[in-house]
Amino acid sequence: MGKVWNVGVAGLGAMGRVVAGGLASGELPGMRLAAVAEVCAENPFDVPKVDFCALALACDLVCECLPAAAVPDLAAACLPAGTDMVVITSAALLLYPEILEAHRDSRARIFVPSGALAGMDAVRALASAGAVTGARLASTKPPAGFGRADIVDKTRIFAGNALGAARAYPANVNVAATLTLASGLPPEAVEVEVWADPAATGNTHEIRVESAFSVVTARVEGQPDPANPKTSALAGRSVLAALRRLTAPLVVG
Ligand SMILES: NC(=O)c1ccc[n+]([C@@H]2O[C@H](COP(=O)([O-])OP(=O)(O)OC[C@H]3O[C@@H](n4cnc5c(N)ncnc54)[C@H](O)[C@@H]3O)[C@@H](O)[C@H]2O)c1
């Protein structure tokens, strides 16, 4: 039998519970939930709750499921220790450049799952040829998703680039940061629109990525996880799918 990865989860909110639950249920061959870190919520898992430093030391890989502002502290524990990270709050990688700077001096790897987006396989392929010439994202959510119950008509609440979007909506537009990182373009070059729509029943993300030899368009109409309505079913599953790729004998896409 090959190596068993000890995996930690930082943050046991909506996303962290989906990820830790998948690990604890044994659905990921070759991986086990080793420890968690959480400041407020209860720990329903049968593993120790520890601080970020102890988590980094106890684990081969840590899944970040935190608010953006807490990600630099987790990275400061994991990267010097050489502990790999899965970062779902990709906006933090744009907002806190010190994370990617520290990463350059570390042997740890950072994995950014596709989250609530589709089409990242094709974008990655174009980016590997340095061929991406333009990238655009439009995200639409119900107004409550932005804490804007006052909005009664479909309204564009942001138009700008991926860095501006991450600053304005760090909890909502990780997709803009993920698209940026996959495309290889600087965040200032990725165009982003954010819409609040009272008629929307879920979160919709549409991308258009242009290159000299292909144009990629992809649209996801995301629904909440039936077991955990606070997180989108696709985003939670994307973390578990990213973990599965790390030990899978056959990797597609
Ligand atoms: N990439 C994507 O497509 C995508 C999709 C959905 C969510 N996300 C991101 O995933 C992250 C998690 O989302 P969520 O819905 O689970 O959020 P959440 O608010 O439900 O959970 C965050 C948890 O982190 C805990 N926490 C905060 N600071 C901490 C600290 N210093 N140490 C330990 N625990 C701490 C909180 O107590 C909370 O339980 C968010 O940043 C969200 O924006 C990304």
Opening angle at CA 43, ends 248 and 90, nearest 5: 55
Question: Does the active-site annotation cover 103?
Answer: no
Q: Give the bridge partners for 111, in sequence order.
A: 86
pLDDT band at 200 (very low <50, low <70, confident <90, very high): very high
Q: What is the mean pLDDT of the chain?
A: 95
* CA pair distance 118, 209, nearest whole angstrom: 12
* CA pair distance 221, 163, nearest whole angstrom: 24
Domain-wise residue ranges, the chain? 5-111+232-247, 120-222
- Report how far ligand 1's centroid is from the alpha carbon of 113 (Å): 15
Q: What is the pLDDT of residues 13-30, one digit of tens each?
A: 999 999 999 999 999 999
Q: What is the pLDDT of residue 1?
A: 60
What are 161's two structure tokens? 């680039």
208-212, 215-219, 231-235: the lowest-pLDDT one: 231-235
Substitution site in 50, 65, 167, 234 for ligand 1 pocket (most atoms within 8 Å of beta carbon) = 65
Q: What is the pLDDT of residue 173?
A: 87
Mean pLDDT of 82-104: 97
Residues 6+ apart with CB under 8 A from 5: 30, 31, 32, 60, 61, 246, 247
Instruction: Kindly state if the Cβ of 115 falls inside 6 Å of ligand 1.
Output: yes
5-111+232-247 and 120-222 agree in CATH topology:
no
Catalytic entry in 205, 222, 243, 246: 205
Q: What is the pLDDT of residues 155-177, one digit of tens each?
A: 999 999 999 999 999 888 899 99
Domain 5-111+232-247 coded CATH 3.40.50.720: yes
pLDDT surpasses 80 at 230: no
CATH T-level assignment (fold) for domain 120-222? Dihydrodipicolinate Reductase; domain 2 (3.30.360)
Q: What is the pLDDT of residue 225?
A: 82
